[in-house]
Amino acid sequence: MMRNRFINMADAQINMIKQQLRPAGILDPKILALFDKTPREQFVPTAYHELAYMDSMIPLTNGQAMLSPILEAQILKVLTLKPTDKVLEVGTGTGYLTALLAQQAQHVYSIDSLAENTEQAQRNISNLEITNISLATNDASAGWDKQQPYDAIVITGSLDFLPKEFLQQLTLGGKLFVVINQGQTMYAYLITRLGEQDWTHHRLFETMIPPLALAKRKSTFKF
């Protein structure tokens, strides 16, 4: 019985790559290989185990959600990470995207405002042979300045405004992925730091994800 379940999950994983990622324009062999070798079902809450490879977000506690495979792949695609990159992820969730990022970067620092998410993600990641991840429970309203600057920052929940602290924590040439709520529509943006006080932002695509839990409002960057 367990063997059949495993085969079904393996088939679902292959179908996700063939029927979701490739048609969405995710063609980079390195990114596809990450999704092929990282068992998503190990990161999904038990109640939603059968939906692990579906093209949809998976509900978590406190209104949070595990992002869809396509959105996670799009994030990896636009960041173009290098093996020497230091990455900050804001909103650890279950740790699945954390694990994907870590397999492309030198080190990933991931923070979450909910201790239960941090603890569960640690358990999930410990099942894999990935050691270049540091997790912490921390207020996400101002990034994580202890390890700055970062070559890439990923914010996994939507924001009404982007706190300026995130911009200052990027290296020159560093990239930041964020989803901004602009009324009735949300857009994904890629921000690149060009100089000490110079950033460019590129609107990528329309999407919809739950808001990131922030403890307090900081000075913001308006789009």
The alpha carbon dihedral of 186, 191, 196, 197 has a sign of negative
CATH of residue 96? 3.40.50.150
Which pLDDT does position 53 carry in this prediction?
Answer: 95
**Rounded average pLDDT per 10-residue block, the chain, 223 residues:** 57 95 97 97 93 93 92 98 98 97 98 94 94 93 89 96 94 98 94 96 96 63 57
The pLDDT score that the predictor gives to residue 4 is 44
In a domain, 9, yes or no: no
pLDDT of residue 218: 52
Residue-level pLDDT at 61? 83
* pLDDT, position 52: 94
* 206 lies in some domain: yes
Element of type H or E holding 32: helix 29-37
User: Which region, left, alpha or beta, applies to residue 157 given φ > 0 means left and ψ of -120 to 50 means alpha?
Assistant: beta
Q: Let me know if residue 1 belongs to a domain.
A: no
Global pTM reads: 0.91
Residue 122 falls inside a structural domain = yes
Order of strands, edge to edge, in the sheet holding 150-155?
133-137, 107-112, 86-90, 150-155, 170-181, 186-195, 198-207
Tell me whether residue 82 is in a domain. Answer: yes
Place of tokens 């959105």: 71
- Reduced to 3 states (helix: H, G, I; strand: E, B; else coil), residue 211 is strand
CA 157-163-169 angle, to 5 degrees, is: 95
Number of domains in the chain: 1
Neighbours of 63 (CB within 10 A): 10
Kindly state whether residue 105 falls inside one of the protein's structural domains: yes
Asked if 58 and 156 count as a contact pair (C-beta separation under 8 A), the reply is no
Phi, psi (5° rounding) for residue 127?
-75, -10
Rounded distance between C-alpha atoms, residue 137 and residue 91, angstroms: 10
Q: β-strands 162-163, 107-112: how paired?
A: unpaired
Distance CA 72, CA 77 (A): 9
Can you tell me the distance from the alpha carbon of 122 to that of 102, in angstroms, rounded to the nearest whole number?
13
The answer to the question of residue 20 being in a domain is: no
- Give me the domain span that covers residue 87: 55-221
Tell me, yes or no, whether 49 lies in a domain: no
